[in-house]
């Protein structure tokens, strides 16, 4: 039997439908204004240079005993955790009684060319943690690190554990040398010193280009062909455009921090191999003895599950929990399943440890 | 939102053109059912491309959506060409093509009118080239702008440098060498991408072969396209995760950085001649400033500890003073006692 049985009439029908969608898009794409993001109101409670810490305001007062500080990656904007009303990790955590704060790292420019990992982790992050603890009137807080922010949070917990009650990592790379890690594979032949000495800060467009080339046809062609299906639906189109805006709203990367992150994490894999030093401090995951919840996505193409899963073998804590989410690197915040599963999992895990 | 007269006219033109095209295609399809010849794919797909281009121009004055429209346009061109090509084949051959013939049709559909001939039979390379962004374009533009000099530079490569312009000549020679190296690394990279494209078609054939069973057949152009995407990505991942790709990718990035660095040095030389600050100088100032700020922060954070230490020392001194005062008084008492005695 032939593998393809495309009925000409059906093929014509498909083509006509696509044409109708294109025609409809002339109206819908014009109706859609510049999409906005952020579902939850917030107030700035601390700022330093380009870094701002926000506290989100829920409908009710938080019932949790310790606040959560979300530490996002440097490579994208943090509003992914509060993208829109029906896709918001923050909103769902607030509804469960959590007190949620977030670090916005801002957009580095030439003035930040020499900012190091020491500045980010032992400087900005430490002072953000102190600011949140002070604002909430507690001695210790819960830290929730996402992606690269998760790696930062691990380093922070390994060196400043006295400031933390619990640590949560989401889609966080730990073992950078697993065979399916394409990004890591590519960076290992790079002369990162030459790269940063030449570019200074690393342009966001270059970072985006690199991410798109991880799956060039799927991310650069198939996705937009699928967009044909929603061209006549304003609400879905707005969701699509909002996501597009987030994907390409990327900050440049501070040169020195980028150099160190590539050299020590991607190339050296020092987080698990050992020998990692940040600001003269030894960073050993064995020093982390507070409870750890590690959440990763099973279909993550940026941080493969194999890169996150080994965390349990390397941290010193006896209270380690792991949660595999059925979805991808972005779906873990914005999919319908994520809204149902992730916030309750975090809330439940924290509740058991802060009674 | 009200349409401007220009936009309305463009919209009407586009609709009329689409309508003419669809009518013609519809007729051709009907005729094919009646035993007549299928429409000529080349001429029809040229209309496709024109239609899409015209459609995209309808958003010319709406910057917020322009980038998305451009991306949609790039993707849609390939897909519509594929749709056209498959529909025409399925009409002409009444669905009696074997796997190889379908694969050939797919391969041909990527070589649509207006496409870069250098990318024929290499849809992966096209997908990579279509990735927009100044980070990627910037370097291509830079290479284009210095391309006229490349030929001249090649000639200088083997010449011995001497005289008071020796350093300049050596610099140009290094730049030329870096450009040639970059070109060589680009060729190696492109060869791997072409290999991935080729492998993609092989995997596509495999995947098609698996669809021969009843219930698993591909019944729409979209499903066929999605199957090809799966194959293309699988093939790309195979190549991209290979040790060879890692080496070539690293060499390409490093070669590009060397060219950039040489060009920057040249720009700096000109800036110095014009009495303008260079990036190296600004970086140097930035580094010093950053170090000073770190030191200030460190001192400011240490200040509370210092203040506490000073307060503790003061308290200790006070205690010592009190103790010393008491001990001074005590001997006096003893003296008076001894006087008494």
Contacts of B26 in chain A (CB under 8 A): 12
Bigger pLDDT: B160 or B172? B172
Q: Which two tokens stand for residue A277?
A: 């030093």
Residues 66-125 of A with CB under 8 A from B: 110-111, 113-115, 119, 123
**Pick from A165-169, A224-228, B150-154, B177-181: least confident:** B150-154
Give B328→chain A minimum CA distance, Å. Answer: 47
What number of other Cβ atoms are within 10 A of residue B326's Cβ? 9
Determine the structural domain holding residue A57 and report its residue range.
42-204+255-353
Q: Which residues pair with A295 in a beta bridge?
A: A170, A323
Report pLDDT for B122.
Answer: 67
Alpha carbons A77 and A72: distance in angstroms, whole number: 8
pLDDT, mean of residues A32-49: 90
Contact A208 B133 (CB under 8 A): yes
Q: Is residue A245 part of a domain?
A: no
Alpha carbons A61 and B106: distance in angstroms, whole number: 59
Report pLDDT for B171.
Answer: 82
Instruction: Let me know: does B25 contact B39? Beta carbons within 8 Å.
Output: yes
Question: Helices marked H in chain B — which ranges?
Answer: 5-33, 41-57, 63-92, 99-109, 123-129, 134-156, 166-210, 221-240, 243-273, 279-340
Alpha carbons A134 and A53: distance in angstroms, whole number: 13
Contacts of A19 in chain B (CB under 8 A): 18, 22
Residue A35: CB partners within 8 Å, gap ≥ 6? Answer: A238, A241, A242, A245
Pick from B119, B88, B113: nearest CA to B101:
B88
Alpha carbons A310 and A79: distance in angstroms, whole number: 28
pLDDT in tens, A115-172: 999 999 999 999 999 999 999 999 999 999 999 999 999 999 999 999 999 999 999 9
Q: Is residue A314 part of a domain?
A: yes
Residue A307: CB partners within 8 Å, gap ≥ 6? Answer: A173, A174, A175, A176, A178, A181, A184
Q: Which residue of A has its CA nearest to B236?
A: A215
Report pLDDT for B64.
Answer: 53
The mean pLDDT of chain A is 94
Nearest to A15 among B83, B131, B226 (CB): B83
Contact B133 A205 (CB under 8 A): yes
Helix axes B5-33, B63-92, angle to 10 degrees: 10
> The CATH number of the domain where A134 resides is what?
3.40.50.1820
Nearest to A189 among B22, B213, B249 (CB): B249
Q: Could you tell me how far CA A235 lies from the centroid of its own chain?
A: 25
A138 near B CB under 8 A:
no
pLDDT, mean of residues A70-89: 95
Question: What is the gyration radius of the CA atoms in chain A, in angstroms?
Answer: 21
Report pLDDT for A183.
Answer: 95
Residue A117: CB partners within 8 Å, gap ≥ 6? Answer: A152, A155, A257, A260, A261, A264, A278, A279
Helix axes B166-210, B99-109, angle to 10 degrees: 140
* A335 backbone dihedrals φ, ψ, rounded to 5°: -75, 160
Contacts of A248 in chain B (CB under 8 A): 67, 133
Pick from B79, B136, B142: nearest CA to B112:
B79
Helix (H) or strand (E) holding A144: strand A141-146
User: Is 50 exceeded by the pLDDT of residue B78?
Assistant: yes
Contact A213 B90 (CB under 8 A): no
Residues 175-204 of A with CB under 8 A from B: 179-180, 182, 185-186, 188-191, 194-195, 197-200, 203-204
Residues in chain B: 341
Alpha carbons B102 and B95: distance in angstroms, whole number: 10
CA angle A151, A154, A156 (to 5 degrees): 110
Residue B1: CB partners within 8 Å, gap ≥ 6? Answer: A30, A31
CA angle B72, B74, B76 (to 5 degrees): 65
A110, A128, A221: best to mutate for the B interface, most B CBs within 10 A: A221
Bigger pLDDT: A231 or A34? A231
* pLDDT grade for B133, boundaries at 50, 70 and 90: very low
pLDDT, mean of residues B250-255: 96
**Pick from B20-29, B262-271, B292-301: least confident:** B20-29
Contact B131 A220 (CB under 8 A): yes
Q: Which residue has the tokens 């790696």?
A: A151
Pick from A276, A303, A350: nearest CA to A122:
A276
Report pLDDT for B284.
Answer: 95
What sign for the dihedral angle of Cα A56, A107, A183, A284?
negative
Alpha carbons A139 and A121: distance in angstroms, whole number: 19
Alpha carbons A254 and B137: distance in angstroms, whole number: 21
Bigger pLDDT: B311 or A274? A274
Q: Is residue A270 part of a domain?
A: yes
Give one DSSP letter per residue of B84-106, joined into a string.
Answer: HHHHHHHHHSTT---HHHHHHHH
A15 near B CB under 8 A:
yes
Pick from A154, A149, A129, A126: nearest CA to A141:
A129
Q: Is residue A299 part of a domain?
A: yes
Give A96→chain B minimum CA distance, Å. Answer: 36
Q: Which residues pair with A146 in a beta bridge?
A: A170
* B225 backbone dihedrals φ, ψ, rounded to 5°: -60, -45
Report pLDDT for B220.
Answer: 84
Instruction: Let me know: does A69 contact A101? Beta carbons within 8 Å.
Output: yes
pLDDT, mean of residues B137-164: 62
Pick from A129, A121, A126: nearest CA to A102:
A129
Contacts of A160 in chain B (CB under 8 A): none
Q: Is residue A220 part of a domain?
A: no
* pLDDT grade for A264, boundaries at 50, 70 and 90: very high
**Pick from A179-183, A199-203, A318-322, B166-170: least confident:** B166-170
What number of other Cβ atoms are within 10 A of residue B337's Cβ? 9
Nearest to A225 among B76, B240, B258 (CB): B76
Catalytic residues of A: 147
Report pLDDT for B215.
Answer: 84
Q: Give the total number of structural domains in chain A.
A: 1
Bigger pLDDT: B57 or A293? A293
The mean pLDDT of chain B is 75
Q: Is residue A232 part of a domain?
A: no
Helix (H) or strand (E) holding A333: helix A331-334
Contact B257 A195 (CB under 8 A): yes
Q: Is residue A324 part of a domain?
A: yes
Q: Is residue A25 part of a domain?
A: no
pTM of the model: 0.83
Residue B29: CB partners within 8 Å, gap ≥ 6? Answer: A8, A9, A12, B39, B87, B91
Q: Which residue of B has its CA nearest to A194?
A: B257
User: Is 60 exceeded by the pLDDT of residue A223?
Assistant: yes
A26 near B CB under 8 A:
yes
Contact B210 A33 (CB under 8 A): no
Helix (H) or strand (E) holding A293: strand A292-297
Start-to-end C-alpha separation, chain A: 64
Report pLDDT for B156.
Answer: 63
Mapped onto helix, strand or coil, the DSSP state of residue B123 is helix
What sign for the dihedral angle of Cα A258, B129, B222, B52?
positive
* pLDDT grade for B37, boundaries at 50, 70 and 90: very low
Contacts of A125 in chain B (CB under 8 A): none
Alpha carbons A160 and A287: distance in angstroms, whole number: 10
Alpha carbons B111 and B122: distance in angstroms, whole number: 9
């Amino acid at each position: 039997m032939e593998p393809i049985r495309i009925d000409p009439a059906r093929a014509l029908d498909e083509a006509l439908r696509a044409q109708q969608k294109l025609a409809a898009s002339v109206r819908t794409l014009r109706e859609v204004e510049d999409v906005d993001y952020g579902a939850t109101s917030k107030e700035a409670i601390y700022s330093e240079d380009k870094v701002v810490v926000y506290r989100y305001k829920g409908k009710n007062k938080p019932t949790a005993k310790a606040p959560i500080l979300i530490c996002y990656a440097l490579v994208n904007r943090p509003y992914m955790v509060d993208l829109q009303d029906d896709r918001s990790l923050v909103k769902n955590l607030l509804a469960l009684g959590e007190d949620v704060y977030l670090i916005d790292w801002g957009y580095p420019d030439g003035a930040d060319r020499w900012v190091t990992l020491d500045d980010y982790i032992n400087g900005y992050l430490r002072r953000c943690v102190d600011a949140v603890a002070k604002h909430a009137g507690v001695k210790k807080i819960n830290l929730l690190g996402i992606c690269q922010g998760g790696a930062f949070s691990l380093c922070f917990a390994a060196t400043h554990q006295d400031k933390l009650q619990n640590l949560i990592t989401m889609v966080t790379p730990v073992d950078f040398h697993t065979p399916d890690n394409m990004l890591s594979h590519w960076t290992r032949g790079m002369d990162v010193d030459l790269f940063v000495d030449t570019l200074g800060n690393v342009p966001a467009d270059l970072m985006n280009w690199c991410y798109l080339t991880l799956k060039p046809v799927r991310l650069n062609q198939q996705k937009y062909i699928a967009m044909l299906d929603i061209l006549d639906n304003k609400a879905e189109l707005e969701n699509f455009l909002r996501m597009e805006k987030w994907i390409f709203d990327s900050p440049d990367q501070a040169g020195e921090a980028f150099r160190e992150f590539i050299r020590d994490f991607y190339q050296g894999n020092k987080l698990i191999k050992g020998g990692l030093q940040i600001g003269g401090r030894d960073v050993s995951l064995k020093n982390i003895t507070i409870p750890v919840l590690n959440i990763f996505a099973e279909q993550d193409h940026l941080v493969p599950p194999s890169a996150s899963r080994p965390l349990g073998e390397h941290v010193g804590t006896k209270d380690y929990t792991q949660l595999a989410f059925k979805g991808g690197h972005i779906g873990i915040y914005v999919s319908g399943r994520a809204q149902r599963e992730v916030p309750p999992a975090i809330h439940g895990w924290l509740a058991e440890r802060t009674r | 939102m009200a349409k401007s007269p220009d936009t309305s006219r463009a919209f009407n033109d586009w609709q009329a053109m689409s309508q003419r095209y669809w009518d013609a295609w519809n007729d051709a399809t009907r005729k094919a059912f009646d035993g007549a010849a299928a429409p000529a794919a080349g001429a029809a797909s040229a209309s496709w491309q024109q239609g899409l281009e015209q459609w995209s121009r309808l958003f010319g004055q709406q910057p917020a959506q322009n980038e998305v429209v451009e991306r949609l346009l790039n993707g849609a061109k390939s897909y519509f060409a594929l749709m056209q090509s498959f529909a025409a084949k399925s009409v002409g051959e009444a669905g009696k093509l074997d796997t190889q013939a379908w694969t050939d049709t797919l391969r041909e559909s990527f070589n649509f009118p207006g496409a870069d001939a250098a990318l024929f039979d290499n849809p992966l390379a096209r997908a990579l080239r279509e990735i927009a962004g100044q980070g990627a374009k910037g370097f291509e533009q830079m290479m284009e702008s210095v391309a006229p000099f490349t030929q001249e530079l090649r000639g200088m490569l083997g010449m011995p440098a001497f005289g008071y312009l020796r350093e300049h000549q050596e610099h140009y020679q290094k730049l030329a060498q870096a450009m040639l190296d970059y070109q060589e690394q680009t060729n190696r990279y492109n060869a791997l991408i072409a290999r991935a494209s080729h492998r993609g078609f092989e995997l596509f054939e495999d995947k098609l072969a698996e669809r021969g069973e009843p219930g698993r057949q591909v019944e729409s152009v979209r499903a066929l396209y999605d199957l090809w995407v799966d194959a293309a990505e699988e093939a790309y991942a195979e190549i991209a995760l290979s040790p060879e790709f890692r080496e070539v990718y690293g060499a390409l990035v490093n070669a590009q950085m060397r060219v950039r660095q040489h060009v920057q040095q040249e720009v700096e030389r000109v800036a110095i001649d014009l009495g303008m600050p260079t990036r190296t100088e600004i970086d140097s100032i930035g580094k010093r400033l950053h170090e000073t700020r770190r030191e200030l922060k460190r001192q400011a954070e240490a200040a509370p500890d210092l203040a506490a230490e000073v307060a503790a020392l003061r308290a200790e001194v006070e205690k010592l003073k009190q103790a010393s005062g008491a001990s001074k008084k005590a001997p006096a008492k003893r003296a008076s006692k001894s006087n008494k005695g």
